[in-house]
A and B are shown apart, each in its own frame.
Chain A
Amino acid sequence: MSLPLDSVYQELILRHYRSPTHRGDMDAPDAVVTMRNPTCGDDIVLQLRVRGDTIEEVRFKGQGCAISQASASMMSGLITGKSFAEAEPIIARFRDMLHGDESAARDKALGDLRALSGVARLPRRVKCAMLPWDALEEARKQVPGG
């Protein structure tokens, strides 16, 4: 058995790792979450600007591997402009995909994030891919009505 490394480290993932979208800071965010993966020491700071129910802007920073950074970059792109109610099924589908659900890995609702489906076969790296999503769920708790 060999690991699905060519799929995980494909060009799209490496492009998001090296040139992430939504990386940086924002002024006066409505939610800020710092999350750390204690086993590896990697961290993420996720910032959201929310108007009404809509996630207007997403920024993240921190230290991480290609998997966590690409996951954060693609997640930020996908959820910008969506409401938390719209984001919720996406979070669930992404989690399903990383737990090996093959129908989730084909679900167009996940967009480019489907490129991370191979991580399901790297169980020790699932946490890396989930880190920004766990931060997003925490951020939601900070937003009134989120």
Chain B
Amino acid sequence: MTVSMLEAASPALDLERIRADFPILDQEVNGHRLVYLDNAASTQKPAAVIETIDRYYRRDNANVHRGVHELSHRATEAYEQARGKVARLLGIGDEAELIWTKGTTEAINLVARTWGEANIRAGDEILLSVLEHHSNLVPWQLLAQRTGARLRFLDLDDQGRLELSRVDDLLTERTKLVSISHISNALGTINPVSHIAEMAHAVGAVMLVDGAQSAPHLPVDVPSLGADFYAFSGHKMCGPTGIGGLWGRRALLEAMPPFHGGGDMIDYVELESSTYAPLPLKFEAGTPHIAGAIGLGAAADYLASVGRDNILAHERHLMAYALERMAEIPDLVLHGPRDPAERSGVVSFTLADVHPHDIATILDGEGIAVRAGHHCCQPLMRRLCVPATARASFYLYTGTDDVDRLVDGLMKARTMFGL
């Protein structure tokens, strides 16, 4: 497909209308229209989400699951409705299987602490990959240190794809858990997690999918992925920061000990012991991020109204366009899969001897926001033999005009560095 054909292809979204939903995009940065390409780090919020949070604090704010008064009732209703909205977006039929957490990091730590400590013993193995975000690495390192378990790692091929042929060798009867990201935040690689889950189950292991990058970008039907746990973050999918979730199979969640102790997670408390609330409250001690959950519910409504298939089609088109246009830039090295169908939302690159931080500063001067650095994936950077990369990441409000601005900015960086 050529660039001109891509430009002519009819986009799945009415970009002008979508952009008008995001007030923050309507501004200039360093004298240029803001081009926000740091969506893998955090996404912008549509007015519907901002207004929902504003309305909650102005009209309905109170603690949940406690009071008999009107405001507590309204807050509880909105909070639990939000759980239903997010569950529906992700295909989760049993809402009690969706636990609110601060985000992906807390969700993974919850599993490592509760399921992990109840089930992992010295000599057991946990299989991860070298492209994991620190949040899907460090909790398992801590668990391994506490229990004497061993971490094993799936390697990558030269395009940043997991070496699936090695999975069979790495899975043994000692493997108790496999935890793999659905989409790499640093490279954009879409990993075949359903296939890996099947192989994990064949040796009796439990499978966790880090969905921080897939919940926003793919029309994921969580239970049908075939995994046992799925972790995600609200702020990467148009919702507020500080809210996200963990989905787990009911039987596993019920068998797990609680995570934090406190109010809301109890059934009956005596001085020496307590019984615990049923799912999902068993894992939700303390006053939760009520406004955050309600805001994430509004984000789920928003994404559903745009259509997750439409978002996917739009991003596929954009990715093909970006890979094509960036290939025009001399000395630019693209990391990750070359086939646009194998990647989502993220373009990671290096440009000759220009350090990624200098690229990011020069692009910032053009009003373009990208991330530079290790992307919380230091082991992956070492594996790719680069100290850092620059990363442009897209979302539903990103257009081919933004990619054009990025390409122009990179050409400027070349000129500035005398290339």
Contacts and interface: CB of A to CB of B under 8 A. Distances in A.
B199 to A, nearest CB: 33
Interface in A115-130: 122, 124-125, 128
B116 to A, nearest CB: 27
Contact of A40 (B30, B357, B417): B357
Contact of B357 (A5, A6, A65): A65
Given A5-B362, A9-B417, A41 B30 contact: no
Nearest to B31: A2
A12 to B, nearest CB: 12
- Which 5 residue pairs are nearest across A and B when measured between Cβ atoms? A65-B355, A3-B365, A63-B387, A65-B357, A41-B374
Contact of B418 (A14, A124, A125): A14
* Chain B interface size, under 10 / 10 to 19 / 20 to 34 / 35 or more: 20 to 34
Nearest to B356: A65
Contacts of A8: 361
B358 A9 contact: yes
Interface residues of A, number: 23
Contacts of B387: 41-42, 63
B30 A65 contact: no
Interface string A40-67: 1110000000000000000000011111
A18 interface: yes
B357 A128 contact: yes
Interface of A: 1-3, 5-6, 8-9, 11, 14, 18, 39-42, 63-67, 122, 124-125, 128
A90 to B, nearest CB: 25
A11 B387 CA distance: 24
B21 interface: no
A39 B373 contact: yes
A63 B361 CA distance: 17
Contacts of B365: 2-3, 5
B416 A9 contact: yes
Nearest to B354: A66
A6 B416 contact: yes
Interface in B335-366: 353-358, 361-362, 364-365
Contact of B388 (A3, A40, A66, A67): A40
Contacts of A2: 30-31, 365
Nearest to B353: A18
